[in-house]
Structure 1
Amino acid sequence: MTATPIRPAVSLTRPRAVVTGLLGVGSALAVGDLVAGLVAPASSPFLTVGDQFVRLTPEWLKQFAIATFGTADKLALLTGMALVITGMAVAAGLLARRRPAPGVAVVVAMGVTALVTTVLAPAFRPVDLLAPAVALLVGPTVFHAVHAAFTRAARDGLGAAAPLSRRRALSLAGGVAVVSLGATVAGRLLAAAPSTSGPAALALPPAPPVPALPPDATLPGAPAWLTPTADFYRIDTALQVPRVDTASWTLRVHGMVERELTLSLDQLRARPVVEVPITMVCVSNPVGGALTSNARFTGVRLADLLAEAGIGPGAQQLLSTSVDGFTTGTPVDVVTDGRDALLAFGMNGEALPVEHGFPVRMVVPGLYGYVSGCKWITDIEVTTWDAATPYWAERGWAREGPVKTQSRIDTPVAGASVPAGRVVVAGTSWAPHVGITRVEVAVDGGTWVPARLGADLGADTWRMWRTEIELGPGEHTLRVRATDRTGTVQTEREQVSIPDGATGRHTVPVTAV
Structure 2
Amino acid sequence: MRSRLRLRGAIAGVVSGLVALGLAELVAGLSASLRSPVLDVGDRVIDLVPSPIKEMAIDLFDTNDKLALLIGIGVVLFAYSAAVGIVAVRRLSLGLAGIGLFGVLGAVAGGFGTAGTVGALPSIVGAIAGAFALTLQVRWANAPDADQPAERGLSPHSAASRRAFLFGSGSFLVAAAVMGGVGRLLDSRFQVGASRDTLRLPVPPEPLAAPPPATALDVEGLSPFFTPNESFYRIDTALTVPQVSTEGYVLAVTGMVARPLELTFDQILQRPLVETDITMTCVSNEVGGGLVGNARWLGIRLDDLLAEAGVDPAADQIVGRSVDGYTCGFPVAALDGRDALVAVGMNGEPLPLEHGFPVRLVVPGLYGYVSATKWLTEIELTTFAEFDHYWVDRGWAVEAPIKTQSRIDTPRPLTRIPAGETAVAGVAWAQTRGISGVEVRIDEDEWQQAELSEELNDTTWRQWMLAWDATPGRHDIAVRATDATGETQTDERVPPIPDGATGWHSIVVLVDEG
Q: TM-score range by the shorter chain?
A: over 0.9
Does 2:311 correspond to 1:320?
Answer: no
Deviation of 1:355 after TM superposition, in Å, equals 1.0
Deviation of 1:24 after TM superposition, in Å, equals 1.1
Aligned partner of 1:98 in structure 2 is 90
Report if the CA contact (8 A) 1:205-1:269 is conserved. Answer: yes
Q: Deviations over 1:120-162 (max 9, x none)?
A: 23x2334423322221221111111221222235599468869
Does 2:133 correspond to 1:142?
Answer: yes
Aligned partner of 1:357 in structure 2 is 356
Aligned partner of 1:116 in structure 2 is 108
Aligned partner of 2:44 in structure 1 is 52
Deviation of 1:350 after TM superposition, in Å, equals 1.0
TM-score (norm 1): 0.94
Report if the CA contact (8 A) 2:108-2:120 is conserved. Answer: no
Counterpart secondary structure, 2:200: coil
Q: Which amino acid aligns with 1:498?
A: I
Report the CA distance shift for 1:10/1:73 in structure 2 as closer, same or farther (over 3 A): closer
Counterpart secondary structure, 1:180: helix
> In the aligned structure 1, how far is the partner of 2:174 from the partner of 2:225?
49
Counterpart secondary structure, 2:492: coil
Q: Which amino acid aligns with 1:67?
A: D
Counterpart secondary structure, 2:29: helix
Does 2:214 correspond to 1:216?
Answer: yes
> In the aligned structure 2, how far is the partner of 1:94 from the partner of 1:126?
32
Report the CA distance shift for 1:474/1:46 in structure 2 as closer, same or farther (over 3 A): same
Q: Which moved more, 1:370-379 or 1:217-226?
A: 217-226
Report if the CA contact (8 A) 1:47-1:239 is conserved. Answer: yes
Deviation of 1:41 after TM superposition, in Å, equals 6.6
Counterpart secondary structure, 1:148: helix
> In the aligned structure 1, how far is the partner of 2:484 from the partner of 2:74?
49
Q: Deviations over 1:172-192 (max 9, x none)?
A: 111111221233344345445
Counterparts of 1:28-427 in structure 2 under 5 Å? 28-40=20-32, 43-121=35-113, 123-152=114-143, 154=145, 157=148, 165-191=161-187, 194-195=191-192, 198-207=195-204, 208-219=206-217, 220=219, 221-334=221-334, 336-427=335-426
Q: Which moved more, 1:301-310 or 1:35-44?
A: 35-44
Report if the CA contact (8 A) 1:258-1:311 is conserved. Answer: yes
> In the aligned structure 2, how far is the partner of 1:295 from the partner of 1:228?
8
Q: Which moved more, 1:58-67 or 1:444-453?
A: 444-453
Q: Sequence identity of aligned pairs in percent? A: 45
> In the aligned structure 2, how far is the partner of 1:82 from the partner of 1:407?
39
Counterpart secondary structure, 1:43: coil
Report if the CA contact (8 A) 1:246-1:359 is conserved. Answer: yes
Deviation of 1:391 after TM superposition, in Å, equals 0.3
Deviation of 1:163 after TM superposition, in Å, equals 11
> In the aligned structure 2, how far is the partner of 1:163 from the partner of 1:145?
11
Deviation of 1:506 after TM superposition, in Å, equals 0.1
Q: Where do 5+ consecutive residues of structure 1 fail to align?
A: 1-8
Across the aligned residues of Structure 1 and Structure 2, the Cα RMSD in angstroms comes to 2.1
Deviation of 1:246 after TM superposition, in Å, equals 2.1
Counterparts of 1:424-439 in structure 2 under 5 Å? 424-439=423-438
Report the CA distance shift for 1:417/1:322 in structure 2 as closer, same or farther (over 3 A): same
> In the aligned structure 1, how far is the partner of 2:188 from the partner of 2:433?
40
Q: Which moved more, 1:188-197 or 1:350-359?
A: 188-197
Report if the CA contact (8 A) 2:443-2:475 is conserved. Answer: yes
> In the aligned structure 1, how far is the partner of 2:444 from the partner of 2:324?
49
TM-score (norm 2): 0.93
Deviation of 1:406 after TM superposition, in Å, equals 0.4
> In the aligned structure 2, how far is the partner of 1:348 from the partner of 1:403?
22
> In the aligned structure 2, how far is the partner of 1:64 from the partner of 1:41?
31
> In the aligned structure 2, how far is the partner of 1:196 from the partner of 1:212?
28
> In the aligned structure 1, how far is the partner of 2:186 from the partner of 2:509?
49
> In the aligned structure 2, how far is the partner of 1:323 from the partner of 1:386?
24
Deviation of 1:214 after TM superposition, in Å, equals 2.7
> In the aligned structure 1, how far is the partner of 2:16 from the partner of 2:112?
25
> In the aligned structure 2, how far is the partner of 1:386 from the partner of 1:505?
35
Report the CA distance shift for 1:192/1:475 in structure 2 as closer, same or farther (over 3 A): farther
Q: Which amino acid aligns with 1:200?
A: D
Aligned partner of 2:153 in structure 1 is none
Report if the CA contact (8 A) 2:107-2:121 is conserved. Answer: no
> In the aligned structure 1, how far is the partner of 2:270 from the partner of 2:6?
65
Deviation of 1:389 after TM superposition, in Å, equals 0.5
Counterparts of 1:465-480 in structure 2 under 5 Å? 465-480=464-479
Q: Which amino acid aligns with 1:210?
A: L
Report the CA distance shift for 1:107/1:304 in structure 2 as closer, same or farther (over 3 A): same
> In the aligned structure 2, how far is the partner of 1:452 from the partner of 1:191?
52
Q: Which moved more, 1:58-67 or 1:417-426?
A: 417-426
Report the CA distance shift for 1:512/1:10 in structure 2 as closer, same or farther (over 3 A): closer
Q: Where do 5+ consecutive residues of structure 2 fail to align?
A: 151-155
Aligned partner of 1:4 in structure 2 is none
